[in-house]
Structures are given as C-alpha cells and as structure tokens.
C-alpha cells in the first residue's frame, strides 16, 4: 500500500465533501426553474460528449464496445433527463385539497456516488443528473481502473452546471481513488446518502456505513425461450443483447433456458447469429477460464469479446463469433457456465417441461440473481403473467433485449443505471433508482376531523372474579382483626366464622 497516496486520496475526498456541503447549502435556495435549467445544461453537455467519453472508457478499462458505451452515455444523459425533467423536486410537490395534506420536497444533502468500472462514464453522468435535479450535492469515487474517464465525465458535467448558475463545488470527485478513501467517504459525517454500484463487498460496505444507502445486487439473469416464442426474432434480440458492450450491463442475459420443443430451432438461430456452440473439450477449457475458484468470476474476461475470451482459453473459434455457448444441466457455484459472467458467454439449458423451465430459472436466480431481473420470450400472456407472479425478481423483460430493456432503453421502465433488487436481493428498493429516490418529503396536515376526548375516571374498569374474591377476602380478614380481644387473643368463635367465610368465597 502506498501510504502517501492513500493519505492524499483521503484528504482530497474530505476537501471535496466539505466544499460540496457548502455549495449544497447555497443550492438549497434555488427555485425549480433554476434547478431545471442546470440539469438540462448538464444533460446536453454530457450527451454532446457521449462518443468521446465512450472512447476514453474503452481505452482506459479495456472493456466493452465504443459504439455501445456511446449509447449508454446517451441513455445516462438525455434519456434520463427526459424522464425527470417535468418532476417537481423543489418546494410544494403535491397538494390534496380534500384531505388538506401538502407535500414539500427537501434534499438529503451530500450524496456519495460510487462508480463501477463496467459503466464508468454513463453511471457518473446519471448519478450527477438525479442528484442535481433534487438539489443535492454529489461527491464521486470512481473505480481506480476507470478514474480518468469517470473524472472527465464529471468535469464536463461540472463545467456545464457552473456555467448554468450552479454553485462551484456542487459536483466533486476523488481523482486518485483508493479503497480506504472510498470507505471513508461512505462514513463521512457530512455525507447523507450513498449511491453504490459495484461488487458485493462494496455494496455491503455501503449498507454497513450507518448511512442511508441505495445499493444493487448481482444480476444472474435467466432468459426463458418458451415454445410459443417467435424464434428467429427472439434469438436475434438475445444475441444482440448479450453482445451489447460485451455483456457488462448487470441486467444482461446470463443463461438460456429453452423448451425442448423449440431446442433445435433455437440452436440453429444461435449459430446464424454468431453463436459458437462449444464441444465438451472446448467447454472444459473455457470453464477453467471463467471461474478459477468455485463461485469466483475471473475479472480478466469481464467486458471482453468472444473471440478474445476463446483465445485466452486456448480455443479456436471463427472470426466474427459473438457469443460462446455451452450446454449445461446443472446449476451451482462449481458450475462456471451457471454463474454471472459479465461477458458474451452463455450457459444453455434444455427444459423437458414448463415446470422444469421454471425450476431452472429459479435455481439460476437463487445462485446469484435474487431480486434483479428475468427475461422471457413468449406469445402466451398466461405464461408471462405466471412468471411475473412467481419469479423472485424486481423487473421482468418480455420480448425485448434484457440488457438495455432493464435500464429503460426499449421498455417503459424508468431510465436508470442503478437497478434495485428489493427485499429478494437485500436492497431497500426494487425500483429503477431515479430522482424521486433522492428527495425526502415533509407533510403538512390540517385537522379535518372533530373528536371528543373523554375525561379521566368516566369509564368503569371491569373487575375480574379473582380480583373480587381477593378484595372480599381482605375485607373479611380486616373485619375479623378489628374484633380481636384486647389481649390480642382471638375468640375461637371469631376464627371459626372467618374460616367459614373464606371457604364460601372459594366454593
């Protein structure tokens, strides 16, 4: 560990948080019109640099596809802006005249944004936009392997925001991030909320920071091709989705489950769309590359193309191969093709029945995708409804590309690059996280009902039989004691009478 580097990183973080807090105190007084103008300016500036940032991201991280990262940047900027531009986030946001309840928005304060290496520019833009829309400040800790492109995205956003009238320092970052600085950022007393996107350990650290946090779980997404699906169209979408940015979106399909009735058609279309079905020998080689230890993904394959991954495993595939596919029957940590792979690699499961197909999907989700997403291709609405009711996921994409459908590019879901997994995945929300999640709401409520408060002592308290007996017994004893002779020796007749009365009380 470079001690001096860590200290510099921590100090840079502290300075950024302090400055952000001061800027946010000023930003609190901005009107909705002022806020909206700033958000629009930032979205437009980031959108204009989508290609440049995509090139930087691929060059620095060695992951993904430039053209696809450009689309991600466009979704993270203008698509997000279009989805939030009309939301009220300042002052009174709703008023119920009948119930006389008024809702007033107020921000969290300073938000800590943790950015993953798989989406280093689009996530930075997205988190900045929803923070600014809600009058929050944001301080970002990029991934060390993607720090330059993330910081460049933030600089573009900051320049546009300040030019549009935002206080300087409202958008901050750590230019030389370290794990220690990131952990201290999340625990900093002046940070009020955490937006964490990254590995499981990072998300757990966010939840353990003592701060409110939005974190996301892993997405081991099954895609079920049901027998009524339009196979050529379905397979093309799945292959386009799986190869999009070389599989780096967490909602990308990870394993195919197919009905036995359409198995051969699906395999044919997979080959027609650039899929390479591995032989048993090839499969064994790729397995070792995917997971060097049970349940552990080799980070060197993340975001790489299929041909490169095959070469890394010592397997020769045709040029133009888009996805590597291996038939599988088991699900588990010791089954590499069944885990989340974040690369263009598919496990292929054949289901002999509808129930077995559902079981495969459940097993895959339980292995590492609980609460995240599921993809389904069918023309039977009953099947879609059944899956929607029974699968432990927060979003289900039907007849579309799961990867970009989940983030709102091809569906009506809210455009977002932070996808909650709900209680299934140990998250606080199952939503696509957006601006509404970054505001608090205070409520002003007028009295609308009259009520009479009774005075104390006006209601009789029921007495149990046991209590009545005890009270009666105490009275009897008290009376008997009062009749004692002066010398303190009770009269035998008095004692006999007392005993008789006690016996009567308990008969």
* Of 272, 276, 280, nearest in space to 346 by CA: 276
What phi and psi values does residue 49 have, to the nearest 5 degrees? Answer: -105, 20
- The catalytic position among 157, 250, 361, 421 is 250
Asked whether the beta carbons of 47 and 100 are under 8 A apart, the reply is: no
Q: Cα(first)–Cα(last) distance of the chain, in Å?
A: 84
Angle at 275 between CA 359 and CA 353, to 5 degrees: 25
Closest by CA position to 349, among listed 327, 332, 366, 364: 327
Phi, psi at residue 255, to the nearest 5°?
-140, 140
Assigned token pair, 401: 């590309």
Which CA distances in Å does 346 have to 262, 295, 435?
17, 16, 34
Contact present, 344 and 306 (Cβ < 8 Å) = yes
Q: How many residues in total does the chain contain?
A: 507
Comparing C-alpha atoms, which of 497, 501, 507 is closest to residue 472?
Answer: 501
Q: By the 8 A CB rule, do 425 and 394 touch? A: yes
The helix or strand, by DSSP H or E, that contains position 493, with its residue range, turns out to be helix 492-505
Q: What is the DSSP letter of 437?
A: G
Q: What is the dihedral of CA 55, 82, 137, 191, to 10 degrees?
A: -90
- Total Cβ atoms within 10 A of residue 439: 21
Residues 428, 434 contacting (CB under 8 angstroms): no
Q: State yes or no: is 421 an active-site residue.
A: no
Cα dihedral 70, 72, 76, 80 sign = positive
Positive/negative CA dihedral, 415, 119, 132, 159: negative
Q: How far is CA 324 from CA 87, 104, 309, in A?
A: 43, 52, 9
Alpha-carbon distance of 474 to 59, in angstroms, equals 92
| Bridge partners (DSSP) listed for residue 442 | 104
| Backbone angles phi and psi of 79, in degrees to 5 | -65, -40
> Which of these, 21, 410, 429, 368, lies nearest to 189 by C-alpha position?
21
What one-character DSSP code corresponds to residue 79? I
> Closest Cα partner for 331 from 340, 318, 344?
340
State the Cα–Cα distance between residues 109 and 38, nearest whole angstrom.
Answer: 17
Catalytic residue positions, numbered: 250
């Amino acid at each position: 560990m470079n001690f001096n580097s860590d200290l510099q990183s921590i100090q840079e973080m502290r300075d950024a948080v302090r400055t952000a807090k001061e800027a946010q105190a000023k930003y609190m007084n901005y009107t909705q019109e002022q806020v909206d103008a700033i958000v629009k300016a930032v979205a437009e500036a980031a959108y204009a640099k989508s290609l440049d940032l995509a090139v930087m991201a691929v060059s620095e991280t060695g992951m993904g596809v430039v053209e696809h990262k450009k689309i991600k940047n466009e979704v993270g900027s203008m698509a997000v802006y279009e989805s939030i531009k009309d939301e009220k986030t300042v002052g009174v946001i709703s008023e119920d005249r009948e119930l006389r309840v008024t809702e007033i928005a107020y921000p969290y304060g300073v938000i800590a944004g943790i950015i993953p290496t798989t989406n280093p520019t689009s996530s930075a833009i997205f988190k900045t936009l929803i923070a600014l829309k809600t009058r929050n400040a944001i301080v970002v800790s990029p991934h060390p392997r993607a720090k330059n492109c993330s910081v460049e995205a933030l600089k573009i956003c900051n320049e546009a925001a300040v030019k549009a009238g935002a206080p300087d320092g409202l958008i901050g970052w750590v230019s030389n991030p370290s794990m220690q600085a990131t952990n201290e950022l999340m625990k900093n007393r002046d940070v009020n909320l955490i937006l964490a996107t990254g590995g499981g350990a990072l998300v757990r650290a966010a939840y353990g920071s003592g701060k409110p946090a939005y974190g996301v779980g892993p997405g081991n997404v099954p895609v079920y091709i049901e027998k009524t699906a339009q196979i050529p169209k379905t397979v093309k979408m799945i292959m386009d989705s799986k190869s999009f940015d070389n599989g780096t979106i967490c909602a990308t399909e990870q394993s195919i489950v197919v009905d036995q009735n359409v198995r051969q058609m699906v395999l044919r279309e997979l080959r027609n769309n650039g899929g390479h079905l591995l032989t048993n020998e090839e499969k064994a080689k790729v397995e070792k590359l995917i997971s060097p230890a049970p349940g552990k993904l080799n980070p060197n394959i993340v975001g790489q193309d299929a041909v490169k991954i095959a070469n890394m495993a010592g397997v020769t595939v045709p040029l133009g191969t888009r996805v590597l596919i291996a038939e599988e029957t088991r699900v588990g940590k010791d089954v590499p093709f069944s885990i989340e792979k974040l690369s263009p690699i598919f496990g292929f499961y054949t289901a002999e029945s509808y129930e077995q197909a559902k079981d495969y999907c459940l097993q895959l989700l339980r292995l590492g995708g609980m609460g995240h997403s599921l993809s389904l291709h069918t023309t039977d609405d009953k099947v879609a409804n059944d899956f929607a009711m029974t699968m432990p996921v927060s979003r289900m994409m039907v007849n579309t590309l799961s990867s970009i459908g989940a983030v709102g590019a091809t569906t009506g879901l809210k455009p977002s690059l932070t996808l909650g997994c709900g209680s299934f995945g140990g998250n606080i929300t199952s939503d696509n996280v957006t601006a509404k999640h970054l505001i608090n709401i205070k409520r002003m409520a007028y009295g609308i009902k009259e009520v009479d408060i009774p005075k104390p002592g006006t209601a009789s308290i029921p007495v149990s039989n046991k209590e009545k007996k005890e009270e009666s017994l105490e009275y009897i004893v008290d009376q008997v004691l009062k009749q004692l002779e002066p010398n303190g020796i009770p009269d035998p007749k008095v004692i006999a009478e007392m005993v008789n009365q006690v016996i009567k009380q308990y008969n």
